[in-house]
A and B are shown apart, each in its own frame.
Chain A
Amino acid sequence: MLRVKNLTVDHGAIRALHGVSISIEKGQLAAVIGANGAGKTTLLRTLSGLNKATDGSATWGDLNVLHSKPESLVRHGISHVSEGKSVIPELTVSENLDLGALWRRNRKESAQSKNEVVELFPRLGERLSQRADSLSGGERQMLAIGRSMMSKPQLLLLDEPSLGLAPLVVEQIFQSIRDLTNSLGLTVILVEQNAIGALKIADIGIVLNLGSIAATGSAAALRDDPAVRAAYLGF
């Protein structure tokens, strides 16, 4: 399970996160919602080792998350799909996928994982030898999630997978995320602007406001909370 206690993160003089505490059980899908600048991305970047924490602690099982580099956290099952369709456009679809499994140094297992990803996203399978910049937005997001799956993650950190995608595609991506969580027993933190969509598939919800937690609870309860609805869901 993931335990975050009193996490504080500064960007220079700006305090991005202020004493954030979160608890997510194994197998749960947690949606983190909130306005722009609420600290959602900072939270993910700190949990994946890209940003340094000023104070507080974060543990994943026995692992101390805050003092590790991203490349070692991947080896402990924490995988972060960063904002904006995190694929490398100059590489082919196949190479993008391979990249996620290089550290495992096991060709056989990597090939097996690749088959699983292609099964999950058949459209990637049809485009393996194309450069990633020839893909549509939705396909790129599939590729980014696929690359992450190549690392055999247990904790998946997803930053705005719906960004810039058509509503129908968003629905598909969200459904895949929910399916993955169930079938592989993943723990997922889903950061989203699309609060309604995210709370629909999530088990629990966390509302961030100006770097602090404004509300937290089961996703269903948050969806029905009048204050949350007014401030973040817009209806």
Chain B
Amino acid sequence: MFEFVNTLLIGITAGSIYSLMAIAIVLVWRSTRVVNFAAGGIALASTFVGSTILEITGSFWIALPVAMLAGAALSAFIEYFFLRPLLKRSGDKNQEIFLPIIATLGILGIMKAVLHFIYGEKIGVLSPPLSDKGFIVSGESIALSPLRLLILGIVLLLMIALTLIFQRTNIGLSLRAASFAPEISRLSGIRVDLVRTVGWAISGAAGATAGILQTVNGSGAVTPEAFEFSLLLVFGFVAAVIGGIESLVGAVVGGLTLGIILAIILMYLGSSLVFFAAFLILILVLLLRPNGIIGVKGGRRA
């Protein structure tokens, strides 16, 4: 029982980070219908920015918001200078779907190469701001540590902020309207192009946070080839698909579901099966519930 609760705690923490990455992917998908592999590169680059700021200032609480801003700026930059011209020029429907996918894969590769060029073999260090030693409950150390509590707190805070932005603000209404019905939105006076860039920017900030948290929750160090980031991108996509790719709530449910399942497998079946299991879940969801586990057939959710 004790072991199971610990496993759940580990799964929920990891899953909350996948949720953030899934949100980053869903936001871009909803605003521009682009499958954004560059989200992994944006998270990686922002995490390097965060580690540099941490090195200079010594404060995690300066490093995190700066990394989020960097992620937002980088993501908006990619949308504005690469994806927007590409989508405007692509001739037919097939190109519109296919070209952006290849483009974001290319951008991911370029970003990794540039980071390699800048940082070389240097490792970006992101030491956790709080202890990762578990709290002691009735003499035994549990998996919940001050660090894990902090991670969960940051994710929860961001989700509340996102919900408020989407449901209560004008830009939130514009973002939802533009993703559901771009033409009606334009006829209503919404500057859809601008709104799309804002959607990418928010996605970049979410991805940056996911990158930072993934690093402090893991090895505490980041390299341009970090395996943790490949995992983050893949698990983010799997979580987004589990949640039905259209829905922010779905992304959260998908991330937590994936995190918990993978933690259970890791604990009881061994680490060699984790990657296999993630892809098996992906395939099963795609085959059995292509609209996601909470998706309604053909429906779109806020």
Q: Which of B125-133, B178-186, B235-243, B259-267 contacts A (4 or more CB under 8 A)?
A: B178-186
Interchain CA distance A86-B187 in the complex, whole Å: 10
B166-219 residues at the A interface, CB under 8 angstroms: 170, 173-174, 176-177, 180-181, 183-192
Interface centre among B188, B300, B302, by most chain A C-beta atoms within 10 angstroms, is B188
Q: A95-B173, A99-B177 are in contact. Are A71 and B190 (CB under 8 A)?
A: yes
Give complex CA distance A81, B183 in Å.
11
| CB of A116 within 8 Å of the partner chain | no
Contact with A along B19-58 (1 / 0, CB 8 A): 0000000000000000000000000000000000000000
Contact residues in B for A90 (Cβ distance below 8 Å): 176, 180, 300-302
**A103 proximity list for chain B (CB < 8 A):** 188-190
Known contacts A90-B300, A99-B173, A102-B174, A70 near B180 by CB under 8 Å = no
- Which residue of chain A has its CB nearest to the CB of B176? A91
- A229 interface contact, C-beta 8 A: no
* With contact pairs A90-B300, A90-B301, A102-B170 given, residues A70 and B186 touching in the complex (Cβ less than 8 Å): yes
A193 close to B (CB within 8 Å): no
CB within 8 Å of B: which A56-79 residues = 69-71, 74-75, 79
**Contact between A99 and B180 (Cβ–Cβ < 8 Å)?**
no
Considering the complex, which residues of chain A in the window 77-104 have a beta carbon less than 8 Å from any beta carbon of chain B? 79-82, 86-91, 95, 98-100, 102-103
- Asked if B187 and A80 sit within 8 Å, CB to CB, the answer is yes
Point out the residues of chain A lying under 8 angstroms from B174, CB to CB: 99, 102
List the count of A-B residue pairs having beta carbons below 8 Å apart. Answer: 65
Assess whether B190 is in contact with A82, with CB atoms less than 8 Å apart.
no
- Give the number of residues in B that approach A within 8 Å (Cβ atoms): 20
Q: Is A135 an interface residue (CB 8 A)?
A: no
Task: Write the B226-255 contact mask toward A (1 if CB under 8 angstroms, else 0).
Answer: 000000000000000000000000000000
Given known contacts A74-B188, A74-B189, A88 and B177 CB-to-CB distance under 8 angstroms: yes
Question: Cβ of A98 and Cβ of B187 under 8 Å apart?
Answer: no
Taking a contact as CB atoms under 8 Å apart, the answer to whether A88 and B184 are in contact is yes
Residue from B183, B190, B301, B302 within 8 A of A99 (CB atoms): B190
A151 touches B188 (CB 8 A): yes
Check A79 against B187 for contact (C-beta < 8 Å).
yes
From B170, B174, B301, name the one whose CB has the most chain A CB atoms within 10 angstroms: B170
Of residues 259 to 283 in B, which have CB atoms within 8 Å of A's CB atoms?
A: none
What is the 8 Å Cβ interface bit string for chain A, positions 96-131, against chain B (1 contact, 0 not)?
001110110000000000000000000000000000
Q: Shortest Cβ distance from B141 into chain A, in angstroms? A: 47
What's the nearest-Cβ distance from chain B to residue A168, in Å? 27
Is B181's CB under 8 angstroms from A88's CB?
Answer: yes
On whether the beta carbons of A151 and B186 are closer than 8 Å, the reply is no
Using Cβ atoms and an 8 Å threshold, which residues of chain B touch A70? 186-187
Chain A residues contacting B302 (CB-CB under 8 Å) are: 90-91
A50 at the interface (CB under 8 A from B): yes
Q: Which of A4-57 contact B (CB under 8 A)?
A: 48, 50
Which residue in chain B gives the minimum CB-CB distance to A50? Answer: B183
Q: How distant is A11 from chain B, measured CB to nearest CB, in Å?
A: 14
How far is A82 from B187 in the complex, measured between Cα atoms in Å? 8
Quote the shortest CB–CB distance from A6 to chain B (angstroms).
25
A176 to chain B, nearest CB (A): 19
Instruction: Chain A residues near B188: list those with CB within 8 A.
Output: 74, 99-100, 102-103, 147, 151
With A88-B177, A102-B174 as contacts: A82 and B186 at CB distance below 8 Å? no
User: Out of B170, B187, B301, which one reaches A74, CB within 8 Å?
Assistant: B187
Q: Given A82-B187, A86-B184, A87-B184 in contact, is the A71-B177 Cβ separation under 8 Å? A: no
The complex places the Cα of A74 from the Cα of B176 at a distance, in Å, of 20
Q: Which residues does chain A contribute within 8 Å of B183, judged by CB atoms?
A: 50, 82
Segment 81-103 of B: residues with Cβ below 8 Å from A: none
Residues of B within 8 A of A100 (CB): 188-189
Taking the closest CB of chain A, its distance from the CB of B268, in whole angstroms, is 41
What are 27 sample pairs from A and B whose C-beta atoms fall under 8 A apart?
A48-B187, A50-B183, A50-B187, A70-B187, A71-B186, A71-B189, A71-B190, A71-B192, A74-B187, A74-B189, A82-B183, A82-B184, A88-B180, A88-B184, A90-B176, A91-B176, A91-B177, A91-B302, A95-B173, A95-B176, A99-B173, A99-B185, A99-B188, A102-B173, A102-B188, A102-B190, A151-B189
The 10 closest A-B pairs by CB, nearest first: A103-B189, A74-B189, A70-B186, A99-B188, A88-B181, A100-B188, A90-B180, A80-B187, A71-B186, A88-B180
Given pairs A50-B187, A102-B173, 16 additional interface contacts (CB within 8 A): A50-B186, A69-B186, A71-B191, A74-B187, A75-B189, A82-B183, A86-B184, A88-B180, A91-B176, A91-B180, A95-B173, A95-B176, A99-B188, A102-B188, A151-B188, A151-B189
